[in-house]
């Protein structure tokens, strides 16, 4: 359309605007509107250049993992009213794209022996009236030069914040117990809260049930082989893994289990993301200001920027707790 208007502008003295518009199938009024907007085009082009720079910065800040929906949400969070179609066009023109995950393979392994029946108290209703009442969690593995690093999480369904997490070189039951203990020690879990998980052997074990009972937490499990019953935890890992494993040509992968954590789990990575952010979290919802209470039976040592040592004298079970 713009090229035809330019053609008319260049040849209107010779052939006339009306005749050229008839030949090219354009409205004469549309051409005059295009001419009237001539002075505004340089300003619009300059604003678009600034927007491209901002989009490129956000894309690089998140290691190339953010696509059109999340970059648009991030721009809205920063106070810019931008349509997602405009963001998609600019990203396409400048060769920017998010990371697409590979096809997921099932890794949940139900326990071999008899298990005490546990009801599904969530039933895919991933909402909560207040923080600390309904939690979900799961385990995933992250690649490092030293081998696999296993991560267990506890997610609050009200705020979508990661209120407890633990990392270790194994995926034994100790790992998920450490994540629950940390969430409880931080004061983010109320008594009689519900913790929902899949039917993996760690979450259906007697040790984990005892850890929940010790914290006065009720257990809830979904059906075997159904990722939708624990969709919130699965969605968080779908966000975490592209950001923790850089693209080819980028910086090296996480060099060691203890040296570096994925950028998404840094407690104060940026001013806009002071805590790990879930993809379904409402960007206008305020983050929790801090723990509501702290159970006296646990002790948290002074934290550094890379690791929070959770201890009852020392970090339990050799886990890397943050």
Give yes or no: residues 162 and 285 share one domain: yes
What mean pLDDT comes out for the span 31-58? 86
* pLDDT per position as a tens digit, 267-285: 433 333 334 455 555 555 5
Q: Write down the pLDDT at residue 18.
A: 86
Tokens of 165: 């997490």
φ and ψ at residue 54, rounded to 5 degrees: -70, -40
Handedness of CA 189, 136, 98, 101 (dihedral sign): positive
216-230, 234-248, 263-277: range with highest mean pLDDT? 216-230
Q: Does 308 fall in a domain? A: yes
Which strands make up the sheet holding 134-144, listed edge to edge? 217-221, 193-197, 134-144, 147-156, 162-168, 320-321
> Which of 60, 75, 93 is where one domain is finished?
93
Q: Write down the pLDDT at residue 74.
A: 92
> Which of 60, 93, 126 is where one domain is finished?
93
DSSP secondary structure letters along 110-142? B-SS-------SSTT----SSTTSEEEEEEEEE
Beta partners for residue 310, in sequence order: 300
Instruction: Say what percent of the chain tops pLDDT 90.
Output: 29
Question: How many folded domains does the chain comprise?
Answer: 2
Residue 181 has pLDDT above 50, yes or no: yes
**Structural domain span for residue 65:** 2-93
> Which stretch of 171-180, 233-242, 253-262 has the lowest confidence by average pLDDT?
253-262
Give yes or no: residues 194 and 253 share one domain: yes
> Which stretch of 129-143, 171-185, 280-294 has the lowest confidence by average pLDDT?
280-294
Give yes or no: residues 158 and 290 share one domain: yes
> Please, which pLDDT band fits residue 68 given cuts at 50, 70 and 90?
very high
Give yes or no: residues 89 and 142 share one domain: no
Q: Write down the pLDDT at residue 137.
A: 93
What mean pLDDT comes out for the span 181-190? 91
> Which of 93, 119, 154 is where one domain is finished?
93
Q: What is the CATH number of the domain that holds 228?
A: 3.30.420.10
Beta strand ranges found along 12-133 (DSSP E): none
Give yes or no: residues 84 and 142 share one domain: no
Instruction: Find the helix or strand (DSSP H, E) in which 145 lies.
Output: none
Q: Does 50 fall in a domain? A: yes
The model's pTM is 0.56
* pLDDT per position as a tens digit, 93-147: 998 988 776 655 555 555 555 556 788 899 889 999 999 999 999 998 888 777 8
């Amino acid at each position: 359309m713009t090229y035809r208007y330019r053609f008319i502008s260049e040849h209107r003295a010779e052939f006339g605007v009306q005749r050229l518009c008839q030949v090219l199938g354009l409205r004469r009024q549309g051409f005059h509107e295009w001419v009237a907007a001539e002075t505004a085009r340089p300003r619009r082009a300059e604003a678009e250049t600034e927007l491209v720079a901002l989009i490129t910065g956000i894309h690089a800040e998140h290691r190339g993992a953010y696509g059109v929906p999340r970059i648009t949400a991030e721009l809205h969070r920063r106070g810019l009213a931008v349509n997602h179609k405009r963001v998609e066009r600019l990203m396409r023109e400048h060769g920017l794209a998010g990371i697409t995950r590979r096809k997921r393979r099932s890794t949940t392994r139900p326990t071999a022996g008899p298990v005490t029946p546990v009801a599904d108290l969530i039933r895919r209703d991933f909402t909560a009236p207040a923080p600390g009442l309904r939690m979900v969690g799961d385990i995933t593995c992250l690649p490092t030069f030293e081998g696999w690093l296993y991560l267990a999480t506890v997610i609050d369904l009200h705020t979508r914040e990661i209120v407890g997490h633990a990392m270790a070189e194994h995926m034994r039951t100790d790992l998920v117990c450490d994540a629950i203990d940390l969430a409880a020690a931080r004061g983010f879990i109320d008594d009689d809260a519900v913790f929902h998980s899949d039917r993996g052997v760690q979450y259906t074990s007697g040790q984990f049930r005892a850890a929940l009972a010790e914290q006065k937490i009720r257990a809830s499990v979904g059906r075997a082989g159904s990722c939708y019953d624990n969709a919130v935890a699965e969605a968080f890992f779908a966000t975490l893994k592209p950001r923790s494993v850089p693209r080819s040509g980028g910086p090296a992968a996480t060099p060691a289990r203890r040296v570096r954590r994925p950028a998404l789990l840094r407690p104060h990575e940026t001013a806009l993301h002071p805590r790990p952010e879930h993809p379904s979290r409402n960007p206008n919802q305020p983050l929790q200001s801090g723990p509501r209470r702290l159970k006296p039976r646990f002790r948290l040592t002074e934290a550094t920027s890379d690791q929070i040592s959770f201890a009852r004298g020392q970090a339990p079970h050799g886990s890397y707790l943050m």
